[in-house]
Structure 1
Amino acid sequence: MTSQPQTLNFHPLRGELYDELHSRPFQVLPCPAAVTHIALLTDDDQRDAQFRHLQELHVLLGEPAPTAEVSCFEATFGHLRVRRETHMEFASYTFINLAPGPHHRPFEHTGASLLPKGWLERLSGTVVAAFHLDLQTVNSSPNNDLGLVRPWFEGKRLVGSSPQEGKARVWGSFKLHSDGFGRFMVLNQSLSNSQLGRLTHRLMEIETYRLMSLLALPQARTITPRLNEMDQQLAEITQALADNRSIDEKAILAELTDIAARIEAFRAQSTFRFSATRAYHRLVLTRLEELREDELSGHLTITEFMTRRLTPAVKTCESVGDRLEDLSRRVDRASDMMRTRVELAIQSQNQQLLASMDRRSKIQLMMQHTVEGFSVVAISYYLISLLKMALDTAAASGFSFNKSLVLGIAIPVILLAVFLGIRFIHHHFIKLARRE
């Protein structure tokens, strides 16, 4: 016996990773049996309420209630088997009537028939998928199937196939019946209980994931007309920019901002739903491949029906998601063009403003030179007046000199000195400005 090495550092989630592969085992189903499958959209509060409701079921049936919630719970109460699975956004319930009787009428006693009265109606969540499966043992030829199954589908058009290399036949209408549930009938010819359980589980997943993948279609149809409007609006803006028309840049930028905001709102509303649609669709295709169907009596197989009806709906959702991304990129490019146009306009205005400022500076310089000329005259006049007063004072004091001659000689000297002084100050400030 080999002992486990004690020196290895095992990841703390290693055990959970192993258990995950075995967390949702296939059913082992007897035949005949009646199965009811329900899938409900749930939030956290509803999920907690569902677990408490499951505990209540155990109490009503006289069994010990579970204490901890698990991703896949299964319990058997006599002839009733209950299975609950929790997923990312929905929870599924499978109710199996293990002994409906050897001669029971299909869909008369369903998997939910053994539940306590009123318990199912009080289940929290929004029902997306709800359908019955009736499992029957047959030894007859497939040619006799229509006469056997058609009365139980209320005259609706049937889809049929022979999966698992002809060991069973599956019939369904993929429509709601008078009780508000869908219906499938599995005619088992030679499948074992475990094979029948796997086939039934795949059918339940196909129908559940089909409906979950279609949840985005109404949203896509609602968004499409608004995308058409925004597309046309954006095309007109882009054409106006291409034609270089005179437009109100402020109004256009506000319009582009409004389009971008609406696109982001649509993306926030739809991104998760569209991504989930793609994921569910891939799961449906995978489960269809696992059926290994053959055509039955000229009817559409489940795979043909799905690829013909489901795939276009999924492609519609994908195209709307792609249009949102494309519109977002186009709005960004148009906004960049508008910003470039605005920046060029601002640069042109700045150049005009600088040219205007340059002209004003030249005018101010010319005025300054003119003022400097007047300043020379004014300063010289005051200096000469002061000199005359000084000469008068000197003459009155008894000094003898030719006052007019001295004043005449002083006038040009004073004018020249004032002029040179002002020019020196002017050049001094110019040098200071250049150093700055």
Structure 2
Amino acid sequence: MSARLESLDIHPLRNDLYNELHSRPFQVLPTPARVTQMAVLTTPEQRQEQFRHLQELHRLMGHPVPENEVGCFEHTFGALRVRREMHMEFASYTFINLAAGEETPFSETGITPLPEGWLEQLTGTVIAAFHLEVRPAADGTEGDLDYVRKHFEGMRLVGSSPQEGAARVWGTFRLHSDGFGRFMVMNHHMSDSQLGRLTQRLMEIETYRLMSLLALPVAREITPSLNDMDEKLAVITRSLAENEDVDEEKLLAQLTNIAARIEAFRAHSTFRFSATRAYHRLVLTRLEELREDELSGHLTLTEFMTRRLTPAVKTCEAVSERLEDLSRRVDRASDMMRTRVELAIQSQNQQLLSSMDRRSKIQLMMQHTVEGFSVVAITYYLIGLLKFGLDSVYEAGVVFNKTLVLGIAIPVVMTLVFLGVRVVHHHFIKMAKRQ
């Protein structure tokens, strides 16, 4: 008896994880066929509008309207197959005209069967739009090439023979007079499934290539500001290193300004630069999957991308690394500034403590002097009181030498007062030490 899973604790995402690997199946593409691929940058609000726009296409074509949006949607309207895939930043639309005949290539395209005016209402920002023409191959490479050249408006061709010669791929990686890019696939002996995988890789290469280049204008835009900040930071660091008499407050304000600008640039560009690296890796992976063979006299797609796309991506990576390097240098300069300020504060504190120590010694000397005066003053008042007492006794009839008694009492009283003041003084010193 087979085991059952009903009694086990099943992860709630288990089915989704299984289905994820099958959510974007490859196309099955006949020969001939005409394909149009569009990639549209979208916001979350625009995605909802795009789904309503897709529902409108179903109504116009007389088909049931889908109720729920999915990550990869595909539907066939007679001779038109429409596929919509949702990505993190963009939505891709693939339109396949399955009614392609022997007409001139690119005279009709994948979007030709669409209802008039529907495509113009699509929301979002178009980043990639190109046509892909699938044709049976002519006899021999020269026959293919002569046929292909006529349909790329005299532009320089990039071509290769992928999958060990099973097909030939031609393109220019340029915009043509209709505003679209163009590719042509000459099918020699590929099956419909193989052809679908090949065209899918070509469409992903072109789309991801353009997405990876979105960071290049950002890199060019912030480079002059990085140069300016680099020079300012070098001046600040040099002045700190040379121990010049600088205005720390002014330098700290400059460092704070540079740090704020760097963080603003990082917030603006970090995602874009990271996305560029990811898209570039995807392009390289798709190029490897093509397994291209060279066609005499023409750059392969891999060679073209290596020579043209990779330097642009490296530029973006260099600017990204430079931003990080500047941020670290600002941190180090700030640490130097803080160390300098702390040393200055410590020096001021040392001077203050020395001054306080000197004042304490002076105060102690003054205190001893005051204590001496205090002993004399207290003795004077006590002797005065003693004189009043002696006068009272003398007037009461007791005969004695008042002058002699007072003379003897003065040193005795003074000694007792001095000893009393010292006792009080030592008592307060002990209290201070205990605290």
Question: How many percent identity over aligned positions?
Answer: 74
Corresponding residue for 1:90?
Answer: 90
Corresponding residue for 2:325?
Answer: 326
Map 1:38-49 onto structure 2 (within 5 A). Answer: 38-49=38-49
- What code does the residue aligned with 2:292 have? E
Residue 3 of structure 1, CA deviation: 5.4
- Tell me the alpha carbon deviations over residues 248-278 of structure 1, each in whole angstroms, 9 at most, x when there is no partner: 2222222222222221111111111111111
Which consecutive unaligned segments of at least 5 residues does structure 1 have?
none
Task: Please give the alpha-carbon distance, in whole angstroms, between the structure 1 residues aligned to 2:47 and 2:321.
Answer: 33
Corresponding residue for 1:200?
Answer: 199
Residue 281 of structure 1, CA deviation: 0.7
Corresponding residue for 1:418?
Answer: 417
Corresponding residue for 2:227?
Answer: 228
Task: Please give the alpha-carbon distance, in whole angstroms, between the structure 2 residues aligned to 1:36 and 1:233.
Answer: 50
Corresponding residue for 2:385?
Answer: 386
Task: Please give the alpha-carbon distance, in whole angstroms, between the structure 2 residues aligned to 1:170 and 1:277.
Answer: 25
Task: Please give the alpha-carbon distance, in whole angstroms, between the structure 2 residues aligned to 1:33 and 1:188.
Answer: 11
Q: Is 2:362 the partner of 1:360? A: no
Contact conserved, 1:220 with 1:320, CA < 8 A, in 2? Answer: yes
Residue 294 of structure 1, CA deviation: 1.3
Residue 391 of structure 1, CA deviation: 2.5
- Tell me the alpha carbon deviations over residues 359-409 of structure 1, each in whole angstroms, 9 at most, x when there is no partner: 101100110111111111111111222222222333333332222222222
Contact conserved, 1:143 with 1:297, CA < 8 A, in 2? Answer: no
Corresponding residue for 2:70?
Answer: 70
- Tell me the alpha carbon deviations over residues 323-348 of structure 1, each in whole angstroms, 9 at most, x when there is no partner: 11111112112211211121111111
Task: Please give the alpha-carbon distance, in whole angstroms, between the structure 2 residues aligned to 1:128 and 1:5.
Answer: 47
Moved more, 214-223 or 237-246: 237-246
Which SS does the other structure have where 1:28 is aligned?
coil
- Tell me the alpha carbon deviations over residues 164-214 of structure 1, each in whole angstroms, 9 at most, x when there is no partner: 211211111101111111111111122121111111111100000000111
Contact conserved, 1:162 with 1:296, CA < 8 A, in 2? Answer: yes
Corresponding residue for 1:250?
Answer: 249
Task: Please give the alpha-carbon distance, in whole angstroms, between the structure 2 residues aligned to 1:431 and 1:280.
Answer: 77
Residue 53 of structure 1, CA deviation: 0.4
Corresponding residue for 2:345?
Answer: 346
- What code does the residue aligned with 1:208 have? T
Residue 161 of structure 1, CA deviation: 1.1
- What code does the residue aligned with 1:121 have? E
- What code does the residue aligned with 1:36 have? T
Task: Please give the alpha-carbon distance, in whole angstroms, between the structure 2 residues aligned to 1:311 and 1:96.
Answer: 31
Corresponding residue for 1:297?
Answer: 296
Corresponding residue for 1:154?
Answer: 153
Moved more, 317-326 or 110-119: 317-326
Which SS does the other structure have where 1:254 is aligned?
helix
Contact conserved, 1:372 with 1:422, CA < 8 A, in 2? Answer: yes
Q: Is 2:252 the partner of 1:241? A: no
Residue 6 of structure 1, CA deviation: 4.3
Q: Is 2:18 the partner of 1:18? A: yes
Moved more, 195-204 or 7-16: 7-16
Task: Please give the alpha-carbon distance, in whole angstroms, between the structure 1 residues aligned to 2:352 and 2:207.
Answer: 69
Task: Please give the alpha-carbon distance, in whole angstroms, between the structure 1 residues aligned to 2:434 and 2:372.
Answer: 27
- Tell me the alpha carbon deviations over residues 117-142 of structure 1, each in whole angstroms, 9 at most, x when there is no partner: 11111111111100011111122221
Task: Please give the alpha-carbon distance, in whole angstroms, between the structure 2 residues aligned to 1:173 and 1:430.
Answer: 95
The alignment's TM-score, normalised by the length of structure 2, stands at 0.97
Contact conserved, 2:81 with 2:96, CA < 8 A, in 1? Answer: yes
Task: Please give the alpha-carbon distance, in whole angstroms, between the structure 2 residues aligned to 1:99 and 1:325.
Answer: 54
Which SS does the other structure have where 2:150 is aligned?
helix
Residue 222 of structure 1, CA deviation: 1.1
Which consecutive unaligned segments of at least 5 residues does structure 2 have?
none
- What code does the residue aligned with 1:141 have? G
Corresponding residue for 2:53?
Answer: 53
- What code does the residue aligned with 1:149 have? V
- What code does the residue aligned with 2:387 have? K
Residue 163 of structure 1, CA deviation: 1.2
Q: Is 2:113 the partner of 1:128? A: no
Moved more, 168-177 or 136-145: 136-145
Task: Please give the alpha-carbon distance, in whole angstroms, between the structure 2 residues aligned to 1:14 and 1:387.
Answer: 108
Task: Please give the alpha-carbon distance, in whole angstroms, between the structure 1 residues aligned to 2:144 and 2:99.
Answer: 23
Which SS does the other structure have where 2:211 is aligned?
helix
Which SS does the other structure have where 1:153 is aligned?
coil
Contact conserved, 1:142 with 1:297, CA < 8 A, in 2? Answer: no
Which SS does the other structure have where 2:151 is aligned?
helix
The alignment's TM-score, normalised by the length of structure 1, stands at 0.96
Contact conserved, 1:267 with 1:324, CA < 8 A, in 2? Answer: yes
Moved more, 140-149 or 14-23: 140-149
Task: Please give the alpha-carbon distance, in whole angstroms, between the structure 1 residues aligned to 2:330 and 2:321.
Answer: 14
Task: Please give the alpha-carbon distance, in whole angstroms, between the structure 2 residues aligned to 1:169 and 1:50.
Answer: 35
Which SS does the other structure have where 2:88 is aligned?
coil
Corresponding residue for 1:35?
Answer: 35
- What code does the residue aligned with 2:22 have? H
Task: Please give the alpha-carbon distance, in whole angstroms, between the structure 2 residues aligned to 1:106 and 1:39.
Answer: 22
Which SS does the other structure have where 1:391 is aligned?
helix
Residue 7 of structure 1, CA deviation: 4.3
RMSD of equivalent CA atoms: 1.5
Q: How many residues align?
A: 435
Corresponding residue for 1:369?
Answer: 368
Task: Please give the alpha-carbon distance, in whole angstroms, between the structure 2 residues aligned to 1:55 and 1:286.
Answer: 34
Task: Please give the alpha-carbon distance, in whole angstroms, between the structure 1 residues aligned to 2:26 and 2:404.
Answer: 133
Residue 100 of structure 1, CA deviation: 2.3
- What code does the residue aligned with 1:240 have? S
- What code does the residue aligned with 2:48 have? D
Residue 5 of structure 1, CA deviation: 4.7
Task: Please give the alpha-carbon distance, in whole angstroms, between the structure 1 residues aligned to 2:374 and 2:416.
Answer: 13
Contact conserved, 1:35 with 1:94, CA < 8 A, in 2? Answer: yes
Moved more, 334-343 or 48-57: 334-343
- What code does the residue aligned with 1:170 have? V
Which SS does the other structure have where 1:170 is aligned?
strand
